[in-house]
Structure 1
Amino acid sequence: HALVRSTATEVILSRVQDLRERGDAPLIDLLTTQDPGLVALVAEHLAAGDPPSDPGRLLATLSKVNEGLDLPRDFEAHLAIARARAHLQGSADPAHERPPFDHPIDRDRLLALENGRQYRILTDKGEVTLALEVDVAPGSCVAFDSLVTAGYYDGKTFHRQVPGFVVQGGCPRGDGFGSMDWTLRTEVGLPGFSTGAVGLASAGPDTESCQFFIMLGPAPHLDGRYTRFAHVVDGLDVVQRLQVGDVMRRVERLP
Structure 2
Amino acid sequence: MSLNAFAEKIMVIETDLGNIEISFMQDKAPLHVKAIQDLVTKGFYDGCTFHRVIPGFMIQGGDPNSKSADRSMHGTGGPGFNIKAEFNDISHKRGICSMARSQNPDSAGSQFFIVVKDSTFLDRQYTVWGQVTSGMDVADKIVAVKRDPNDNPVQRVVMKKVYLKDTKDAKEKAK
TM range (shorter): 0.7 to 0.9
Deviates more, 1:179-188 or 1:133-142: 179-188
For 2:16, the equivalent position in structure 1 comes to 124
SS of residue in 1 equivalent to 2:35: helix
Size of the aligned set, in residue pairs, is 147
Which structure has the higher relative contact order (CA within 8 Å, separation 6+)?
A: 2
Give 1:119's aligned amino acid.
M
For 1:234, the equivalent position in structure 2 comes to 134
Which of residues 103, 111, 120 is equivalent to 1:211?
Answer: 111
Task: Give how far 1:124 is off.
Answer: 1.4
Mapped to 2, the partners of 1:159 and 1:201 lie a distance apart of: 12
Mapped to 2, the partners of 1:111 and 1:207 lie a distance apart of: 26
Larger radius of gyration: 1
SS of residue in 2 equivalent to 1:231: strand
Per-residue CA deviations over 1:116-162 (Å, capped at 9, x if unaligned) read 63111101100111000000000000000000010111111110000
For 1:112, the equivalent position in structure 2 comes to 5
Give 1:156's aligned amino acid.
C
Mapped to 2, the partners of 1:153 and 1:113 lie a distance apart of: 17
C-alpha RMSD of matched pairs (Å): 1.2
Task: Give how far 1:166 is off.
Answer: 0.6
SS of residue in 1 equivalent to 2:12: strand
> Which ranges in structure 2 are unaligned for 5 or more consecutive residues?
67-73, 146-152, 167-175
4+ aligned runs moved over 4 Å, structure 1? none
Give 2:161's aligned amino acid.
R
Higher strand share: 2
Give 2:48's aligned amino acid.
K
Deviates more, 1:223-232 or 1:175-184: 175-184
Identity, in percent, stands at 34
For 2:171, the equivalent position in structure 1 comes to none
- Determine if the alignment matches structure 1 residue 195 to structure 2 residue 106: no
- Determine if the alignment matches structure 1 residue 147 to structure 2 residue 35: no
For 2:64, the equivalent position in structure 1 comes to 172
Mapped to 2, the partners of 1:197 and 1:227 lie a distance apart of: 10
Task: Give how far 1:189 is off.
Answer: 1.1
TM-score in terms of structure 1 length:
0.56
Residues 189 and 148 from structure 1, CA distance in 2 versus in 1: closer, same or farther, beyond 3 angstroms?
A: same
Per-residue CA deviations over 1:217-254 (Å, capped at 9, x if unaligned) read 01111001000000100010011111422000101101
Task: Give how far 1:111 is off.
Answer: 4.0
Per-residue CA deviations over 1:71-96 (Å, capped at 9, x if unaligned) read xxxxxxxxxxxxxxxxxxxxxxxxxx
Which of residues 80, 84, 89 is equivalent to 1:181?
Answer: 80
Per-residue CA deviations over 1:176-220 (Å, capped at 9, x if unaligned) read 011121100111111110000001101021000000100010111
> Which ranges in structure 1 are unaligned for 5 or more consecutive residues?
1-107
For 1:57, the equivalent position in structure 2 comes to none
Contact 1:109-1:142 at 8 Å conserved across structures: no
